[in-house]
Structure 1
Amino acid sequence: MIVRVFILMTICGLLSCLPFCSNPDYVHIPDPLFRQYCLEQFDSDQDGRISYEEAADAEVIVCSHRGICSLEGIQYFTSLKVLECNENQLTSIDLSGNTQLERLSCRDNKLTSLELRGNKELVHLICGKNQLRTLDLKTNVNLEYLLCAMNRLESLDISHCRNLVFLWCWKNNLQVLYLEGNPQLKTLNCTRNYLKKLDINTNRNLHFVDCSQNPYLKELYTAKRQKFIEMKKDDHTELHTAG
């Protein structure tokens, strides 16, 4: 009798998971906390499930401070333009399927992987205070604002981000930072890295620069008539002007 009751309870438990696990008409969202958020915000017919139509209608997700470990299922939110998922327990995010995304803030997580190769419309990115060692921005050609401070980045290629205006990449492990492809750049904070050389000669719109606390930075190159509103550098960093 006990065995039969146990089997019956097991079957009931499995059946209760079917709306989320095997129903082809509904989005599979395995993380219970992210699923609960989606049900609260997007379950328009209140059937306890998120249909593909409901997911496709959503343009904004703000799910910060919820203890979420996975955003699996977010790829079906194909109209998503804004995502804020700060201060969760995320270790990886893949947004390659969210091609309409314009703004992303995922700071204060545990990210070691951030996939943005499908996000050509991305303009605003905040991914600070994570554990990222690499950040691929080659396809994010419309990016204007980038805050990637307090990670573990050893290199940062922003040469394809020609519209970039704001860059905060302080407190990483950067040894090289190339800015030749960023003519619109106005604000740069690259303090607390391991840069050996910094050339901002071609960044004629750059007005705010902080490259202090780079113990190996010996040479800083600027344009001859370049005017800075604020410039911070270490005493051991020699300033060179050209042009």
Structure 2
Amino acid sequence: MTTRRLFLAGSAAFALSACSSTGRSRLENSNVIQVDEPWASHYSLRHDGGFTIPGIDIRKIPEQFWRQDVDYSGSEAPGTIVVNTTDRFLYLVQPGGRAIRYGVGVGREEGLNFRGSATIARKAEWPRWTPTANMIKTQPERYGPVAAGMEGGLRNPLGARALYLYRNGRDTHFRLHGTIEPYTIGQSVSSGCIRLINQDIIDLYDRVPAGTKVIVVS
């Protein structure tokens, strides 16, 4: 079987030094992980917008949540995004009964409350983030210091990209976005909307224009 090596740059900030490896690279403080194609190129370290996004040790994420091409039997038109919050999958419908499937994480509140269809009205790279009033109220010690908002970056909860969903011209406050906690993909977490691995949200962002239809089901 054809394989490639995925290089994960070591970083104390992202605790990658704790990852086991199948070998050592010549890069200082780096891990080398042997994985099957095509996942190596999907989740390797990348530079984007002045930031360095760490590579992902995909052995820590169940295989069904890796980005992959799959059969799709739904009736939605190609280009439509379908999010299944129960199964933790996001589908980008393709022609010919196919789809690109991404694993997602959902918030216990925002991510599970939204249903139905909406439209991507705005896209942002390395978006600014502001916690909701409820987040500040329920966890003041955590969110109070950033109540005025946080600039985009590697510590921003929205990650590398955000897609903003509107319905009838109004903001639903529901987002498809990246995450600084990639190993929560496939799980229900404390807050947030629909989160993807940063490498995946960048891929999705590049594939869909403003005006794309999004359907959220359970």
Query: Scaled by the length of structure 2, what TM-score is found?
Result: 0.23
Query: Scaled by the length of structure 1, what TM-score is found?
Result: 0.21
Of structures 1 and 2, the one scoring higher in RCO (CA 8 A, sep 6+) is 2
Larger Rg: 1
Q: Give the number of the structure whose residues are more often strand, by fraction.
A: 2
Q: Give the number of the structure whose residues are more often helix, by fraction.
A: 2
